[in-house]
Amino acid sequence: MTNHRFDPTVLREYDIRGIIGETLGADDARAIGRGFATLLRQAGGKTVAVGYDGRVSSPMLEHALVEGLTASGCDVVRVGMGPTPMLYYAEASTEQVDGGIQITGSHNPANYNGFKMVFQGRPFFGEDIQELGRIAAAGEWIDGKGEISSHDIIDEYVDRLLAPLAGLDPDYLAGLKVGWDAGNGAAGPALEMLAARLPGEHYLLFTEVDGNFPNHHPDPTVEANLTDLKALVADKKLDFGVAFDGDGDRIGAIDGEGRVIWGDQLLMIYAEDLLRRMPGATVIADVKASRALFDQVAAQGGKPVMWKTGHSLIKSKMKQTGSPLAGEMSGHVFFADEYYGFDDALYAGVRLIAAAARLGKSVTELRGAMPAMVNTPEMRFQVDESRKFAAIAEVAARIAASDAVADTTDGVRVTTDDGWWLLRASNTQDVLVARAESDSEEGLAWLMAQIDEQLALSGLERGESVGH
């Protein structure tokens, strides 16, 4: 092929994603390989690690991607099927590897797939992805002939996941009882190996990789998907439960009483543990996170930073600030204090065990001690692509002209005596995202009325909430 045009919907802000047979196929994968290899060669790199998730279409895309990478002169190290963080680990820990690509549809429906990329140790997103499109349209690919090798890295990866437990109270660890739900996603086999080596009792659900997701959808931020895990924790009287998304880079959790521990609440636990060991550290969370998290980090002597939503944006901000810990409401948690700074839900599960052990409290006690906030889930509603950023700009201008206190890091987050509300445009879909939090139901209703008023002033309304 001399050049290639992508469907305009697949080259997205944080990754590449599309519908198999409609907007994404083998030719796209080949062109991505050629473009990525061309950019890597121009930057002085040569070797790319490639992995893939458990979706039915992943082996086909992997084959075409490897063809593209080698046709533009890159050597490929195939690490096979596994979670996205296993590919990140291969990229971060293997000396001669200069980049990495994971084929994954993450938590999208079964007929979707896509690519997450790392380029010389940094996230590859935004302008990088647009550049792939430009190179492909012009056919400006370097020609070459790369070598292909395979590296079975899963044992080494699981070894690395166990490191946080070294030196912790063996009696506490031996008494643990934990439930895990892999959701038939790509983390299943690594989870089985990990659980076999963890101290304590471990009960596993849905570790068989099945790209049709027969039991429930693998998105642990939707409470309905945690039903099976809640039943397991209640039935076996477990200490807590952990769930993963389809490619193992986002974590969900529940405590021993079946209460959800949301992304920002998990970060509160990790931050409390971290700040005892690293006083004054910077902890980053996205604009959707609870005020309770930012307040707690500050109260414990840390530096809270509110930043833009999106795993690539958060990783970049961590590098810039030297932050050892960051997280998002969506369950991406990034550890850079004793790890590589990427989002790894299996590692986050082990760190939850370690944090509870060091803090000397059960996960249920830690969850129970958190302030009782009343908040909305993430509300997403359709807005025409051409209006979404403009509408947010209009809201920001009106708020700036009033006496309200607003943060415009990513959308508009307004803090009042009742709590806070947020409106932001999604970078990946034609939707606006809203969220609000208060310490009373009355306060929350008042905040929601403010959101609706701002939307109405821009000729919009909060219709039916749409999914991811």
Largest interatomic CA distance in the chain: 65
DSSP letter for 38, please: H
User: CA-to-CA distance for 121 and 222, rounded, in angstroms?
Assistant: 31
- Is 106 catalytic? The answer is yes
- Is 186 within 8 Å of 54 (Cβ atoms)? yes
* DSSP calls for 281-347: -EEEEETTS-HHHHHHHHHTT-EEEEE-SSHHHHHHHHHHHT-SEEE-TTS-EEE-SSS-SSB-HHH
Token pair 């979706």 in the structure block, residue: 55
50 beta partners: 78, 101
User: CA-to-CA distance for 58 and 52, rounded, in angstroms?
Assistant: 6
Structure-block tokens of residue 245? 């998304």
Angle between helices 345-359 and 154-161 (to 10 degrees): 20
Reduced to 3 states (helix: H, G, I; strand: E, B; else coil), residue 173 is helix
Phi, psi (degrees; rounded to nearest 5) at 406:
-130, 145
**Between vectors from CA 232 to CA 326 and to CA 466, what angle results, nearest 5°?**
55
Catalytic residue among 58, 72, 106, 323: 106
The contacts of residue 227 (CB under 8 Å, 6+ apart) are: 216
Q: In which region does residue 322 sit, left (phi positive, over 0), alpha (psi from -120 to 50) or beta (all else)? A: left
Structure-block tokens of residue 303? 């530096």
Active site residues: 106
